[in-house]
Amino acid sequence: MTLLTVNDSPKTFNPGLAVASRLEAFARLSSDDRAALAQLGRNHRFVDARRDVIAEGDCPRHVHLLLEGWACRYKTLPDGKRQIVGLFIPGDFCDLNIYILNHMDHSIGAITRVKVAMIGPDAMSALTVDRPRITQALWWHVLVSSAIQREWMLSLGQRSAYERLGHLLIELYLRLRVVGRAHDGQCDFPLTQNDLADATGLTAVHVNRTLQDLRRDGLIELERRQLQILKLDRLMEVCMFNPNYLHLDHEGSMVRLTGATAAFRSPGGSISLPPSAC
């Protein structure tokens, strides 16, 4: 049973164009649009692994755009316990319009060494005023980010440990595929078992045992910071993965939903899009 069709031919990855690859999942961009997005990376900095890009309590002055590496959004308790509430891959905006806040209410941390663009309010405003297709894609980016948050909450409340981990692996693989960082079921995977535990509400010991179960069932291989999903359709089925929240069937997407995914759509039929997006 085919749940989705993925064009798995390898795609050349250009860090400067990662954001264009990301946003083209939501809108068809012109060459001028892509050139404008590439300019966003001119003002950038590098942050070492396990360091904060920006910490809770800091005053945000820029929108952060991840160009290379992996990062996460997280919250901590006074006793030091951490909850990862979001994961960022190349091409992701960490927070759009965050500069309107006086202080950060969460932290953005580098999982690997990252290259992050710092975009000022004036540059973001000019981009959205002058380029309506980019503006439309940014709205989709925000909506999908919110949808991912809802799906994570559903996993924490209703999915088993096995389903949570499998679901997260599929999500990350598909997101990486959009920006040319995954193909043929394989991708880099720098998350540690502690990271996975903090993202799924499990202990590191429970994560270890569950990953062993996924391996034993012939669904994944995970070693040396490399993930291989061996049976994507089967893993989607057992984890009840509903791909509609990623909106991979939108007009610019490289991943096209087909066949049995019809069973995952809304009860009323196909997903409706706003008129401006058609």
**46, β-bridge pairs:** 115
Tokens for 168, please give them: 């997260």
CA-CA distance, 188 to 110, in Å (whole number)? 16
Asked if the model's pLDDT at residue 44 lies above 80, the reply is yes
Which structural domain, as residue segments, surrounds residue 211? 16-264
Domain annotation covers residue 271: no
Domain annotation covers residue 2: no
Residue-level pLDDT at 253: 47
Domain annotation covers residue 21: yes
Domain annotation covers residue 11: no
Judge residue 61's burial from the number of C-beta atoms within 10 Å of its C-beta, 0-12 exposed, 13-18 middle, 19 or more buried: exposed
> Rounded to a whole number, what is the distance in angstroms from the first to the last CA of the chain?
29
Task: Specify whether the CB–CB gap between 195 and 225 falls below 8 A.
Answer: no
Domain annotation covers residue 229: yes
State the DSSP string of 78-122: TTS-EEEEEEE-TT-BS-TTGGGSSS-SSEEEESS-EEEEEE-HH
Task: Specify whether the CB–CB gap between 277 and 136 falls below 8 A.
Answer: yes
Domain annotation covers residue 148: yes
Task: Specify whether the CB–CB gap between 109 and 195 falls below 8 A.
Answer: no
Asked if the model's pLDDT at residue 69 lies above 80, the reply is yes
Asked if the model's pLDDT at residue 277 lies above 50, the reply is no
Model confidence, pTM:
0.84
> In terms of Cα–Cα distance, which of 58, 78, 68, 64 is closest to 17?
68
Tokens for 66, please give them: 């991840």
Domain annotation covers residue 6: no
What is the average per-residue pLDDT within 2-6?
43
pLDDT, tens only, 141-154: 999 999 999 999 99
Compute the chain's Rg from CA coordinates. Answer: 18
pLDDT, tens only, 20-39: 888 888 888 999 999 999 88
Amino acid at 128: T
What is the average per-residue pLDDT within 151-165?
98
The model's confidence at residue 59, banded by pLDDT at 50, 70 and 90, is very high
Q: What percent of the chain has pLDDT over 90?
A: 66
Task: Specify whether the CB–CB gap between 10 and 179 falls below 8 A.
Answer: no
Residue-level pLDDT at 95: 85
pLDDT, tens only, 87-117: 999 999 998 877 788 899 999 999 999 999 9
Q: Give how many domains the chain has, as a whole number.
A: 1
User: 116: domain CATH number?
Assistant: 2.60.120.10
Domain annotation covers residue 274: no
> In terms of Cα–Cα distance, which of 97, 137, 135, 101 is closest to 119?
97
